[in-house]
Amino acid sequence: MTTTTTATTTTVLDASDVTMRFGGLTAVRSVDLTVNSGEIVGLIGPNGAGKTTFFNCLTGLYVPTSGTVKYKGTVLPPKPHLVTQAGIARTFQNIRLFANMTVLENVLVGRHTRTKEGLWSALLRGPGFHRAEAASHARAMELLEFVGLEKKAEHLARNLPYGEQRKLEIARALASEPGLLLLDEPTAGMNPQETRATEELVFGIRDKGIAVLVIEHDMRFIFNLCDRVAVLVQGEKLVEGDSATVQGDERVVAAYLGEPFENAPGDEEVAEVEAAEAHAETTTDAAPGKENDR
């Protein structure tokens, strides 16, 4: 064997030409995206750009209108439990926890979502679940410790502050022992300290050998964290590259800030950006744009 173990990267996620239409609206248009082992990749874009929809296509919640999603070289069937079973876990922009279960139970449920049967046994808390629970308890506690929630294992999920609920979602996602973790706005609603801690947590996850694809509006978080960033605007991938490339791209600045390009672009591009702005302004509560010094 002549293979080296040091410089081997594998493609964990390979989404190719993914399109998602809802009636007349194309929410995701021909998006290609790869995530390699050892990578943290960011997915950014204004509100309504199609980021969550793209995640939903990757995880089988939506059946894409066209395109394929491969995990480690195998095409995934668009069924959430099969995607989880294959090795992709996710968190949700709108937190989805079992509010009346304890923190620990939520993580245990995460371990059993690998099969439909396991999920039902966990939700019904039948004997099978309790047997598995005993076997999984140590691992679940280890994950709670990893995210910093071990002391709250017996609290009801609903009683956790918002930032801790987000951490619990991460622990639950990790409980399925994924090779790729998708995070949809993991720091939304967090204070700066919690955001910093989440940054460290994501580095920690990557260091465990789990590739990460993360959606965030907090640019400091994204550019600190990501090896590569892709920018979605109106469903299309506008730019992809390292932090410097993305930050230096005028089209990205324009899409976010509503500022004109320095070099006059083509009419088509202007129209595209203006449409993105108009959309962003209707869906953002604090849309930038008008420079009124008050």
Ligand X SMILES: Nc1ncnc2c1ncn2[C@@H]1O[C@H](COP(=O)(O)OP(=O)(O)OP(=O)(O)O)[C@@H](O)[C@H]1O
Check if the beta carbon of residue 81 is closer than 8 Å to that of residue 111: no
Q: Listing from the earlier edge strand, what are the strands of the sheet with 88-90? A: 88-90, 180-184, 211-215, 40-44, 228-233, 236-241
3-state helix vs strand vs coil in the chain, percent to 5: 45, 20, 35
CB of 9 to ligand X, least distance (A): 28
CB of 277 to ligand X, least distance (A): 14
User: Binding of ligand X at residue 45 (CB under 6 A)?
Assistant: yes
Distance of alpha carbon 150 from alpha carbon 281, whole angstroms: 41
Interacting partner of 258 out of ligand X, Mg ion, none (Cβ under 5 to 8 A depending on kind): none
Interacting partner of 84 out of ligand X, Mg ion, none (Cβ under 5 to 8 A depending on kind): none
Q: Which amino acid is at 76?
A: L
Candidates 33, 49, 225, 246; binder of ligand X (CB under 6 A) is 49
Which listed range, 64-72, 74-82, 85-93, 131-139, lies at the site for Mg ion (CB under 5 A)?
Answer: 85-93
The tokens for 177 are 């022992």
Candidates 18, 29, 50, 152; binder of ligand X (CB under 6 A) is 50
- Residue numbers 86-105 binding ligand X by CB under 6 A: 93
User: Binding of ligand X at residue 47 (CB under 6 A)?
Assistant: yes
| Residues facing 20 on adjacent strands | 28
CA distances (Å), origin 281, targets 67, 173, 217, 255, 259: 30, 33, 15, 11, 13
Write down the H helix ranges in 80-233. Answer: 80-86, 103-112, 116-124, 127-147, 162-174, 192-207, 219-225
Interacting partner of 48 out of ligand X, Mg ion, none (Cβ under 5 to 8 A depending on kind): ligand X
Distance of alpha carbon 19 from alpha carbon 3, whole angstroms: 37
- Residue numbers 42-71 binding Mg ion by CB under 5 A: 51-52
User: Binding of Mg ion at residue 19 (CB under 5 A)?
Assistant: no
Which listed range, 50-58, 79-87, 119-127, 140-148, lies at the site for ligand X (CB under 6 A)?
Answer: 50-58
Collapsing DSSP to helix, strand or coil, 128 comes out as helix
CB of 8 to ligand X, least distance (A): 33
Closer residue to ligand X in complex, CB, 34/284: 284
User: Binding of Mg ion at residue 93 (CB under 5 A)?
Assistant: yes
Sites of contact with ligand X (CB under 6 A):
22, 25, 27, 45, 47-53, 93, 283
Sites of contact with Mg ion (CB under 5 A):
51-52, 93
